[in-house]
Amino acid sequence: MTSQEIQAQYDAFKQLGLKLDMSRGKPAPEQLDLSSALLQQLDGFTAADGTDTRNYGIASGLPEARALFASLLDVPAGQVVVDGNASLALMHDAIVFCLLYGITGHAPWSRQQPVTFLCPVPGYDRHFSICESLGIKMISVPLSDDGPDMGLVEKLVAGDASIKGMWCVPKYSNPSGAIYSAEVVQRLAAMKTAAPDFLLLWDDAYRLHHLSEQKHTTINVLEACERAGNPDRAIVFASTSKITLAGAGLAALASSAANIAWWQRKTSVRTIGPDKINQLRHVRFLKDRANVEALMERHRQLLKPKFDAVLAQFDAYLGGIDGVTWTRPHGGYFIDLVTPPGCAKRTIALAKELGITLTSAGAAFPYGNDVEDRHIRIAPSFPSLDEISQAAKGIALALRVAIAG
């Protein structure tokens, strides 16, 4: 197509009056319908051990909820805490506790300023917001399909004791879909860090969220840390937000026994216990790992066609265009569309004129700063299949106009 033809198609698209918010990775209503049993009557409120789930207590979560997450995360139930409705809140609080108290025998990070985190990029904007809000300095490290640039990571953490943590989304990473290789996980677990209280914030948000028939796995980071002699290095976070209901699900963290004891001490002053009614509802609905995996297969069947529709439009409208690439994720919730340098912001603005709201340019980078202005996060999950196909075409046209312009 000539640039006139592109512009004409773009202008025609604008007349459609589309209005689509694709800024966040939200499950679609049909996905939420898969868990409608959670809205049904709860028959009996007594947990397996006789606990009346309607009353106070059980700060680390119902034993059966801990057991369920243990089976999903391949860790012992005693090393799992189930609390709250959002793994993001658990990550936030873990960092806050490190700042105010220090982790297991170490000084509070707030007394060891500056505190620095490594941030594989592109990454998850809400991770970076936590750091920015809490005054934690961020250093970007490039993320490839098999994980972060480990040579650079090892060099940085060995030489800088202010580097206290690193964000990791080990599987189907947000937004690029990267899957950390066994070698990467082992090197992260074993690397020499100048800071003795260095932490891997292991956001296993998409552990069970496959898009392809091949169910990718990553090696167990807690076991790898243990084997490498750094048993307290990683805290694993997960939730059912994209398994059951987003915002009304369960969140959990897993770590070494020492870190879990630390977490329990620090949270015991904050809360008398989580919402055990919702935990009981979830355990009864989700039952066990096999059942969760069957549920995730139904999510996959709803999500896969949407991703395919986006990829088909990108192939059709962006295939062979110089400097334009995009990821073909095997799982997770996002496609990372990479534009020629200096085109992401303009494309997002042009898409906005078509009625398509995308994640802000730069969101996948610390401080919102995508220096080359190249990355656009595409979230295909929420719109209907027809809408997403149309929107993908609109985004492609916007990018073509941006490149031409």
Structure tokens at 374: 């190249």
Q: How far is the CB of 124 from its own copies (least distance, A)?
A: 12
Nearer residue to its own copies within complex by CB, 162 or 325: 162
Q: In the numeric block, which tokens belong to residue 271?
A: 């809360």
How far, CA to CA in Å, does 168 sit from each of 64, 148, 235?
28, 9, 10
Q: How many C-beta atoms lie closer than 10 Å to residue 267's C-beta?
A: 20
Give whichever of 246 and 401 is closer to its own copies, judged by the CB atom: 246
Supply the minimum distance, in Å, between the C-beta of residue 245 and its own copies: 5
Q: Alpha-carbon distance 5 to 341, whole Å?
A: 23
Closer Cβ to its own copies, 29 or 319, answer by number: 29
Output phi, psi for 394, to 5 deg.
-60, -40
- Asked if 375 contacts 367 with a C-beta cutoff of 8 angstroms, the reply is no
* Shortest reach from residue 87's CB to its own copies, in Å: 10
Task: Give me the residues paired with residue 253 across strands.
Answer: 81, 237
Q: Which of residues 260 and 397 has its CB atom nearest to its own copies in the complex?
A: 260
Helical packing angle, 385-404 and 344-353, nearest 10°: 130
Name the residue nearer to its own copies (CB basis): 273 or 383.
273
Residue 167 bridge partners (DSSP): 201
395 is written with which tokens? 């985004």
What is the chain's Cα-based Rg? 22
Q: Min. distance of Cβ 220 from its own copies in angstroms?
A: 28
- Is 7 or 110 the residue whose CB approaches its own copies more closely? 110
Is the Cβ of residue 135 or residue 151 nearer to its own copies in the bound state?
Answer: 135
Residue 196's CB: how many other CB atoms inside 10 A?
13
Residues near 147 by beta carbon (within 8 Å), at least 6 away in sequence: 120, 170, 178, 179, 180, 181, 184, 185
Binding site residues, its own copies, CB under 8 A: 24, 26-27, 29, 32, 35, 38-42, 45, 52-57, 84-86, 88-89, 92-93, 96, 99-100, 110, 126, 129-130, 132-134, 241, 245-248, 266, 269-278
Q: Write down the least CB distance from residue 97 to its own copies, Å.
A: 9
Q: Which two tokens stand for residue 391?
A: 């929107």
Count the helix, strand and coil residues of the chain and give each as a percent rounded to the nearest 5.
40, 15, 45
Between 235 and 354, CB nearer to its own copies: 235
Cβ at position 270, least distance to its own copies in Å: 4
- In the complex with its own copies, which residue's Cβ is closer, 55 or 217? 55
Q: How far is the CB of 264 from its own copies (least distance, A)?
A: 13
Query: Please, what is the minimum distance in Å from the beta carbon of residue 38 to its own copies?
Result: 8
* β-bridge mates for residue 326, sequence order: 337
The least distance separating its own copies from the CB of residue 88, rounded to whole angstroms, comes to 6
**DSSP string of 328-365, one letter each residue:** --SBSS-EEEEPSTT-HHHHHHHHHHTTEEEPPTTTTS
